[in-house]
């Protein structure tokens, strides 16, 4: 079948992307689903900094590639051997397909799945397949086994989570990345308990999801930290008890003062090592720093070594919110449906696929929290 998609052929093109247009909108040939695969009509796809990192070259991926990893859709066809899904099911994608049998999957840590992460680096489905071909007969890679910036895509069943049909699909898309990463870090990685103090550094879709997760977990105080006042204002609306502008010379001191000497948990979602350092210094002795962003691989993060032992501080990474997608995505959706995770508030605006380059300009400038491409 034919599908229209946004394809990246070259990384490192300069902004504004509305002028350089790194994402090319073109018609691709999409093969039918093979064994274990599912054809999904994409309903909505979010624009995320992880996609932007591939575009600017800081996260190298094979080219050409259909980007997009945060999405929802409707099952249209299933391949041989697929169970648990049927045509017309509503689904959210998981950006790490989990094999179920590697050492990490068996240990209950599917975000670290050896085979899923290997496939993502190769730009293929979990089974090694590529199902897109461009007009020149060239295979086109799948970003995170999803390739969401396409009207239709092929994914393995392991990349899909069936969801409640009552959830609007534009909101559902955000559960595939922003919510699992941010709220998952609060519930799973940090294991925040009621009454513990939390500071969230960086208020994009992921950071604001962490703010909402902290509210749902009963944390207090909840301190939101960012450079941009409109994001600080939204964090306050979502339940943050205090806000701090990180451009202030005493930003860390402000956080420590607001939390009586430092927070129990600092969640870092800034995407750079300076934000990581601020988060670390904002914790109290015995505090927990959880980093959930994806900085440039060449950047280094350092802390005074003695503080790790003498002050029993902890620095932890969190990938995909340490989530088990088929367990946690329905759980987070239920929290949303009962009003405890107002995920729809993260959507700044909706776009057409043809506006995707302009959308990434807005994301790079910090103007938008989450922009969602609608395919309906």
Does the domain made of 2-176+342-374 have the CATH classification 3.30.230.80? no
* 262-320 pLDDT tens trace: 999 999 999 999 999 999 999 999 999 999 998 888 889 888 899 999 999 999 999 99
pTM of the model as a whole: 0.96
**Which pLDDT score, from 0 to 100, does residue 143 have?**
98
- Per-residue pLDDT reduced to its tens digit, 76-87: 999 999 999 999
Q: Where in the chain is the domain with CATH 3.90.180.10?
A: 2-176+342-374
DSSP-assigned states of every residue in 131-161? -EE-TTS-EEEEGGGT--SBSEEEEEGGGEE
Q: What gap in Å lies between CA 268 and CA 181, rounded to an integer?
A: 11
What average pLDDT score do residues 39-55 get? 97
DSSP 8-state code for residue 348: E
pLDDT for res 299: 87
Provide the CATH topology of domain 182-319.
Answer: Rossmann fold (3.40.50)
Q: What confidence tens digit (pLDDT) does each residue in 114-137 have?
A: 999 999 999 999 999 999 999 999
φ, ψ (nearest 5 deg) of residue 284:
-90, 170
316 in Cβ contact with 323 (< 8 Å): no
- In sequence order, the 6+-apart residues with CB closer than 8 A to the CB of 375 are 41, 42, 43, 44, 45, 151, 353
Residue 88 confidence (pLDDT) above 90: yes
pLDDT score recorded for residue 254: 97
Residues of CATH 3.40.50.720 domain(s) within the chain?
182-319
Confidence band of 177 (pLDDT split at 50, 70, 90): very high
């Amino acid at each position: 079948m034919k599908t229209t998609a946004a394809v990246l052929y070259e990384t490192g093109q300069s902004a504004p992307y509305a002028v350089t247009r790194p994402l090319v909108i073109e018609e691709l040939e999409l093969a039918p689903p093979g064994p274990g695969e599912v054809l999904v009509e994409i309903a909505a796809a979010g624009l995320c900094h992880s996609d932007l990192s591939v575009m600017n070259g800081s996260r190298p991926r094979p080219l050409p590639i259909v980007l997009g990893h945060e999405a929802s859709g409707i099952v249209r066809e299933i391949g041989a051997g697929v169970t648990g899904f049927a045509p017309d099911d509503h689904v959210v994608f998981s950006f790490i397909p989990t094999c179920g049998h590697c050492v990490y999957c068996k240990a209950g840590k599917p975000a670290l799945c050896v085979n899923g992460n290997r496939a993502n680096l190769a730009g293929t489905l979990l089974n090694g397949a590529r199902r897109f071909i461009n007009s020149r007969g060239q295979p086109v890679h799948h970003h995170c086994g999803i390739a969401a910036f396409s009207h239709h895509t092929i994914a393995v069943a392991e990349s899909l989570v069936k969801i409640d049909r009552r959830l609007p699909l534009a909101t559902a898309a955000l559960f595939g990345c922003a919510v699992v990463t941010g709220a998952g870090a609060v519930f799973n990685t940090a294991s925040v308990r009621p009454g513990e103090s939390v500071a969230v550094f960086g208020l994009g879709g992921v950071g604001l999801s962490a703010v909402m997760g902290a509210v749902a977990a009963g944390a207090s105080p909840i301190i939101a930290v960012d450079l941009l006042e409109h994001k600080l204002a939204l964090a306050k609306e979502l339940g943050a008890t205090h806000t701090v502008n990180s451009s202030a010379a005493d930003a860390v001191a402000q956080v420590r003062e607001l939390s009586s000497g430092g927070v129990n948990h600092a969640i870092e979602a800034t995407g750079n090592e300076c934000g990581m350092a601020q988060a670390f210094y904002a914790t109290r002795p015995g505090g927990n720093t959880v980093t959930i962003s994806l900085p440039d691989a060449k950047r280094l993060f350092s802390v005074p070594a003695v503080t790790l032992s003498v002050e029993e501080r902890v620095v932890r990474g969190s990938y995909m919110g340490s989530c088990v997608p088929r367990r946690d995505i329905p759980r987070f959706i239920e929290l949303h449906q009962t009003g405890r995770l107002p995920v729809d508030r993260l959507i700044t605006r909706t776009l057409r696929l043809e506006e995707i380059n302009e959308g990434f300009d807005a994301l790079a400038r910090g103007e938008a929290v989450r922009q969602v491409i609608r395919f309906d």
